[in-house]
């Protein structure tokens, strides 16, 4: 038993060392690491792809009845804002928007749940590709946009996990107990 505890503690101590070994050294590497940590890389917290994985449309539309958002609404909101930011980064005219942030949650429809999951993955992939292909000046000019994108994504992914835990649809093997 003591041997198992020692091994467990050593593994816990190795996590920060492992993370330090892979420490990004350029702005591009930092921004990509941040985007990937909220997209699909299982590191410090659960990424979006894992957070929404395996949910049915009915589960995605579940709410606690207290006015909080469903997983589907949160995922749709992330798709909306990530797509809008990508459009601006690409120099495109963003989709029409009234300015009412509630609309970015309330347009979720269970009929399009699978499409919403695909769009979330797609837009996050496209943001990563934008960073990979941007010249240094453009990347530096937009670095703060990416800190906001990553923080916003992490915040709502945390909410998704919380909703799933409340619902009973979260498997702790996926990262959060």
DSSP string, the chain: -HHHHHHHHHHHHHHHHHHHHT---SHHHHHHHHHHHHHT--SSS--HHHHHTT--HHHHT---SSSPPPHHHHHHHHHHHHHHHHHHHTTPPPPP--S-TTHHHHT--GGGHHHHHHHHHHHHHHHHHHHHHS-HHHHHHTHHHHHHHHHHHHHHHHHHHHHHHHHT---GGGS--
> Is there a domain that residue 1 lies in?
no
Residue 99 falls in which region: left (phi positive, over 0), alpha (psi -120 to 50) or beta: left
The number of distinct structural domains making up the chain is 1
- Residue 14 maps to a domain: no
**pLDDT confidence of residue 8:** 35
What pLDDT score was predicted for residue 177? 74
Expressed as residue numbers, the domain containing 97 is: 25-174
End-to-end CA distance of the chain, in Å?
A: 23
pLDDT reported for residue 169:
96
Whole-angstrom distance, CA of residue 77 vs CA of residue 100: 12
* Closest C-alpha to 89, from 143, 33, 154: 143
Kindly tell me the sign of the dihedral angle through the C-alpha atoms of 79, 82, 88, 92: negative
Is position 18 within any domain?
no
pLDDT at residue 168 in the model: 96
Residue 161 inside a domain? The answer is yes
- How does pLDDT run along the chain (177 residues), one tens digit per residue? 444 333 333 333 444 444 445 677 999 999 999 999 999 988 888 999 999 999 999 999 999 999 999 999 999 999 999 999 999 999 999 989 999 999 999 889 999 999 999 999 999 999 999 999 999 999 999 999 999 999 999 999 999 999 999 999 999 999 877
Which pLDDT does position 7 carry in this prediction? 36
Instruction: Tell me the C-alpha distance between 130 and 38, whole Å.
Output: 16
Asked if the structure places residue 5 within a domain, the reply is no
**CATH code of the domain containing 52:** 1.20.120.450
């Amino acid at each position: 038993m003591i041997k198992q505890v020692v091994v467990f503690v050593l593994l816990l101590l190795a996590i920060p060392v492992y993370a330090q070994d892979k420490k990004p050294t350029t702005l591009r590497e930092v921004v990509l690491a941040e985007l990937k940590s909220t997209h699909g890389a299982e590191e410090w917290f659960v990424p979006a792809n894992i957070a929404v994985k395996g949910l049915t449309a009915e589960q995605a539309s579940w709410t606690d009845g207290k006015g909080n958002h469903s997983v589907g609404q949160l995922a749709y909101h992330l798709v909306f804002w990530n797509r809008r930011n990508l459009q601006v980064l690409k120099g495109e005219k963003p989709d029409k928007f009234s300015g009412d942030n509630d609309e970015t949650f309330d347009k979720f429809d269970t009929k399009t749940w699978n499409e919403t999951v695909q769009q979330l993955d797609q837009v996050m992939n496209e943001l990563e590709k934008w960073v990979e292909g941007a010249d240094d000046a453009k990347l530096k000019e937009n670095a703060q946009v990416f800190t906001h994108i990553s923080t916003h994504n992490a915040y709502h992914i945390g909410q998704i996990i919380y909703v799933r835990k409340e619902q009973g649809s979260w498997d702790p093997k996926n990262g959060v107990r």
